[in-house]
Amino acid sequence: MPFITDDANMLNDWLVAGPAAALDNTSEAAPRTARLLGEVLCLWRDAAGAPQCRLGTQPLAVQARHGYLWVCPSGQPARPLFDFPEYGQPGRRIIDCGGIGVAVSGLRVIENFLDMAHFPFVHGGILGQMPHTEVAAYQVQVDSVTGEIWATDCRFWQPRASAAHGSGSEVIYKYRVMQPLTAMLYKSSSRAGELDAIGLFLQPLDDEHVIAHTLLACYDDTSTDAELIAFQHAIFGQDKPILENHAFKRMPLEGRAETPTRGDTSSVTYRRWLRERGMRFGVRQAA
């Protein structure tokens, strides 16, 4: 078996391998390459417009959905790719913010994405601000049908919550973890009663490296694409040095190496959810 892991959580799932638009002007003779689980894949669009994928001479299962390419390394996906109903909703702007490499286990990146407590410290003046540091209680559940984690009723005081928000306010968040390396967040938008959706899809290069793809499905009548992308890059640029300075690049799921506190319900649930599915990829083995 090629690939650097035998963890079925990776091999039998749909893993993102870059934006679908990257296959424009490709062919079997002139494919695009993408790194995944220690291998380099060739991807192209055939004459009928369907995405194709190959590792060496071996064809791999691939589909284009939600604006991205998804590859199943084993060809035997344990479940279909998650739904993303907001992707096609009229009025939403769909913006691919590009892929950013991060030298850490993808599990750390998802955990960071689910975390509000770091806002005043890592994103001070934007997503949080002293002295508004308190994380109020919120709800976390695992959906019995889809198996996805949902964190709801999350609220946090923000001085400037998005490119469209000019002034400070308490912002409502919902979080959703679809797969070990994909998550969405939903937050108050500029349109009353509607939530912006931001997807974080991690392309696993190996246990300690990912490419983080961020997708916006948002309501914004004023900002340019460049402004919206710049905002996401500014936020991600603040998280990246923190993420790359975990003393253990892989995430511990067992033992007492790390200590959660009351507001870490999302993290605690995510780690338990990973433990229950026997996750080993990107996981630090207990000492």
Binding site for other proteins (CB under 8 A): 111, 117-118, 120-122, 133-135, 241-242, 245-249, 252, 257-263, 287
The DSSP bridge pattern shows strands 139-142 and 93-102 to be: unpaired
DSSP-assigned letters across all residues of 145-202: TT--EEEEEEEEEESS-STT--S-EEEEEEEEEEETTEEEEEEE-SSTT-EEEEEEEE
Alpha carbons 80 and 59: distance in angstroms, whole number: 19
Kindly tell me which of 19 and 180 has the beta carbon lying closer to other proteins. 180
Q: How far is the CB of 148 from other proteins (least distance, A)?
A: 23
Kindly tell me which of 31 and 38 has the beta carbon lying closer to other proteins. 38
Q: How far is the CB of 59 from other proteins (least distance, A)?
A: 35
Contact call for residues 101 and 232 (beta carbons, < 8 A)? no
Alpha carbons 94 and 5: distance in angstroms, whole number: 33
Kindly tell me which of 7 and 111 has the beta carbon lying closer to other proteins. 111
Kindly tell me which of 249 and 277 has the beta carbon lying closer to other proteins. 249
Place of tokens 């710049």: 230
Q: How far is the CB of 104 from other proteins (least distance, A)?
A: 10
Q: How far is the CB of 149 from other proteins (least distance, A)?
A: 18
Q: How far is the CB of 167 from other proteins (least distance, A)?
A: 23
Compute φ and ψ for 149, nearest 5 degrees: -90, 135
Residues 6+ apart with CB under 8 A from 265: 137, 138, 140, 151
Alpha carbons 201 and 241: distance in angstroms, whole number: 19
Closest CA to 119 of 131, 111, 109, 129: 129
| Whole-angstrom Cα Rg for the chain | 19
Identify whether 180 is preceded by a cis peptide bond (ω within 30 of 0): no
Kindly tell me which of 60 and 122 has the beta carbon lying closer to other proteins. 122
Kindly tell me which of 77 and 263 has the beta carbon lying closer to other proteins. 263
Kindly tell me which of 68 and 113 has the beta carbon lying closer to other proteins. 113
